Structure 1
Amino acid sequence: MKTKLLLVLAAFALVFSSCRRTGGPLSCAADTVRYSEDLSAFLANQTKGNCEAVKKSITNLYKSCTTLSAIDREEYEEFEEDFNCDEIVENS
């Protein structure tokens, strides 16, 4: 399960890393960096808070990068459905 999640996340990082925002590519680039940082934090420490940060940053990234193809949009929607932070069990 973790391997599949890592592969999906890596694929999205590659897809979104070359996107552009209508208002300027710097916003998309900043969102890409933020997503990468949030993803790294989640992979290092899989807490619900870090999971929610990944979901928020990928949503921001998706909104700021408007040049995604229909296939990329479908993959994003599938990712949103599969990436469930409620399944994260935090260790106390």
Structure 2
Amino acid sequence: MSADEKYEKAVALLCDKYNELGALPKRSDFSPDEVCFIKQKLGPWTRALEAAGLKEPPKITAKEKSRLKRERSHRRRKAANRITNG
């Protein structure tokens, strides 16, 4: 089985369980081997649910928000220096 097929199988496991339960699947809904396989192919559980299209990813992460704030602050400081140094 290729890497793409394994990825698709992990996504299918999550989607099938979602359709069966009618709710987001939890780790406890799967056997330990299935949980290991899903996390190995799709990453942490939340990211796996996002990869399967069952959960919407966050609009902006805290890390990204912090980076944007630093960039704005940096631009303001540069603009203020240009004004004072003429």
- State the TM-score, normalized to the length of structure 2: 0.34
Q: Which has the higher contact order (CA 8 A, sep 6+)?
A: 1
Larger Cα-atom Rg: 2
